[in-house]
Structure 1
Amino acid sequence: MLGSPASGVTVLLGAFGVAALLPLVPALRAFNTARVRGRFLADGDLAAARAAAARGRDQSHTALGYALAVLICAALVWFATANDGAISRTFLRWEFIETAWRSVADAFWVNVKVAVGAEVLVLVFGLLIAIMRLLPGQAGRPLRWIAIGYVDTFRAIPSIIVLYLVGFGLSLAEVPVVKDLPPIWLAIVALTLTYSGYVAEVYRAGIESIHPGQWAAARSLGLSYGMTLRTVIVPQGVRRIVPPLLNDFIGLQKDTALIGVMGVTDAFTQARLTASNVFNLSPVIVVAVLFVVITIPQARFVDRLLAREQRRAGRPS
């Protein structure tokens, strides 16, 4: 039972009351515009009547948007306060958040280090895989097959499975050099293997988006295939793929919360330990907030880059 009927009805009625008040101004404007449109029609001014009708539709849609937004917010508030505030007591106990904040924030640096290390390696390894897949002719066919197999395999396997296999399998197999790596580096290796498959396809899309005339012009100047890629094609392609590349990196940062499966004490692992001690999930909310803090600025930066590319292409953003 989510809450008592009386409290639920009270919240629901309050939501309807606020929803009726907030869109009142645009609704009144739409009503007044409809009256003006009627007068224009009576006077035979069809152009002014059509303009008034367009304004009225915009004002009506604005009122509807405000009303729906308030209803959604009211539903969220009702859910959060249902069952005598059980949601708040379970996820938002300030004393537990305050207790866990320092230890979780310190452990969060492990997530940041893993994310940054993996992103640097992914940029290099993903580009190599993309170039292998684009190698021309019969000579490049075996390498193209290897690149295709790599991309298909690691995009199909969930990240947590790769982390588990790398974290425990390489040590059990006693692979030289790799077996002595600390768990943090094994986590970086696992995420690099996974996300290089995604980033390789992003690189490939960027390279293939370059007009064939750029290839022809570079080769006509006597540049080799490698020089053409390095000095002409790849620099142009990379500029085009920055937004999708950042989206992949946001996904990589979130997947660092899975490295606890390898025995690494990251922020999520530390929060789970604290939550199990206090029998409350408020410490896990600290981890969620930290990920939001580092992710939202990047997401807005991606939106800004996309808008800039649209302006360059002459499309409305």
Structure 2
Amino acid sequence: MTSDAPQDSWQPSKRAQERTAWRRARARRSALVAGVSTLAVIAILVALVLATPGWPLVRDSFFDWRYGLQVLPDIARGLMVNVAIMLGCGAVIVVLGLLIAWCRTLPGAVFFPLRALAAAYTDLFRGLPLILLLLLLGFGVPGLRLAWLPSSGLFWGCVALVLTYSAYVAEVFRAGIESVHPSQRAAARSLGLSHSLTMRCVVVPQAARRVMPPLLNDLVSLQKDSGLISVLGVTYDAVLQARIASAESFNLTPYVVAGLLFVLLTIPMTRLTDWLARRQGWTAAGGAL
């Protein structure tokens, strides 16, 4: 004959219930205070801006929302071009950056030329302003009129983005690789793994997990800087569409619309980066770079 197991009748004590209620009340009060103070600050800033003598002219030049809604479809289509550039260049940047970081971590004197070349690469392209590199490649290389080189400004604009950002991504990967404790390499080598297998199977997977948030930050920056290709005037991205619309109407509202679209595209990526950083617990042991 079997008897039913006694049900768990545990209940928190009265003191615990009071503490829980107090914490919830404090959280609600803090949220209310934060909301009210934020609204008050926004109201004060709006009042100060509206009180300025030049606000009517600025409103007509930058915040003509009827015209903004009129040019929104064209700018939104141009934004898809920026997204395509970001995705295509981002894939190449990750591969090239990881290769450069791997070259910088090669041991032994025989690999010194590769280490020196990788260091020179990162120093050069982190030092050159992106806008200058875009102009040099976008206008300079096609001017050579070499049949075996593409003459598309869009192509050379993407090359400039890849060269610049791969230098930054390489340093991010190198920081992640060097953050892996040497005992990991020693343990892998003691099991008979070569240096390349140790890097591929042991070090790089740990490094990639640790540097994922900063890599996503670089992706956010790449999304914004993809609009700089418009200086070459070769692709109808969001910025160039806004420039054309502004030139037709002598109104700068299209630039504000393009900026808002970039912000709306960037915010989810930024929140994803923050979530990954919290999920990986960078402040925990072994989780910080």
TM-score (norm 2): 0.82
Asked whether the equivalents of residues 139 and 153 of structure 2 are also in contact (C-alpha less than 8 Å), the reply is no
Aligned positions of 1:162-201 closer than 5 A: 162-175=133-146, 177=148, 179-201=149-171
Asked whether the equivalents of residues 101 and 173 of structure 2 are also in contact (C-alpha less than 8 Å), the reply is yes
CA distance in structure 1 between the partners assigned to 2:94 and 2:226 by the alignment: 17
Cα offsets for 1:33-76 (capped at 9, x unmatched): xxxxxxxxxxxxxxxxxxxxxxxxx9999898667534531332
Name the SS of the counterpart of 1:180 in structure 2: coil
Give the partner amino acid of 1:180. Answer: P
Give the partner amino acid of 2:182. Answer: P
Q: Give 1:295's aligned residue.
A: 266
CA distance in structure 2 between the partners assigned to 1:314 and 1:88 by the alignment: 52
Aligned positions of 1:52-71 closer than 5 A: 69-71=38-40
Q: Give 2:6's aligned residue.
A: none
Among 245, 250, 257, the residue aligned to 2:220:
250
Q: Give 2:3's aligned residue.
A: none
Give the partner amino acid of 1:76. Answer: L
* Mean CA deviation greater in 226-235 or 89-98: 89-98
Confirm or deny that 1:155 pairs with 2:109.
Answer: no
CA distance in structure 2 between the partners assigned to 1:231 and 1:60 by the alignment: 50
Among 74, 78, 89, the residue aligned to 1:118:
89
CA distance in structure 1 between the partners assigned to 2:63 and 2:182 by the alignment: 56
Structure richer in helix, relative to its length:
1
Confirm or deny that 1:142 pairs with 2:89.
Answer: no
Identity among equivalent positions (%) equals 43
Among 63, 80, 90, the residue aligned to 1:92:
63
Give the partner amino acid of 1:89. Answer: D
Asked whether the equivalents of residues 167 and 183 of structure 1 are also in contact (C-alpha less than 8 Å), the reply is yes
CA distance in structure 2 between the partners assigned to 1:94 and 1:63 by the alignment: 32
Give the partner amino acid of 2:45. Answer: L
Q: Give 2:173's aligned residue.
A: 203
CA distance in structure 2 between the partners assigned to 1:202 and 1:302 by the alignment: 15
Give the partner amino acid of 1:248. Answer: D
Asked whether the equivalents of residues 115 and 188 of structure 1 are also in contact (C-alpha less than 8 Å), the reply is no
Cα offsets for 1:9-40 (capped at 9, x unmatched): xxxxxxxxxxxxxxxxxxxxxxxxxxxxxxxx
* 1:311 to 1:203, Cα distance in 2 relative to 1, 3 A: closer
Among 50, 75, 97, the residue aligned to 2:44:
75
Confirm or deny that 1:235 pairs with 2:205.
Answer: yes
Cα offsets for 1:56-109 (capped at 9, x unmatched): xx9999898667534531332124423354433222212211221111111222
Q: Number of paired residues? A: 261
Which structure 2 segments of 5+ residues have no match? 1-26
Aligned positions of 1:95-110 closer than 5 A: 95-110=66-81
* Mean CA deviation greater in 207-216 or 67-76: 67-76
* 1:95 to 1:67, Cα distance in 2 relative to 1, 3 A: closer
* Mean CA deviation greater in 142-151 or 71-80: 71-80
Cα offsets for 1:231-284 (capped at 9, x unmatched): 111011101110000001111110011101222232111101111221211111
Q: Report deviation, 1:227.
A: 0.8
Larger RCO (CA within 8 A; separation ≥ 6) = 2
CA distance in structure 2 between the partners assigned to 1:110 and 1:65 by the alignment: 39
Give the partner amino acid of 2:175. Answer: A
**What's the Cα RMSD here?**
2.8
* Mean CA deviation greater in 60-69 or 186-195: 60-69
Name the SS of the counterpart of 2:109 in structure 1: coil
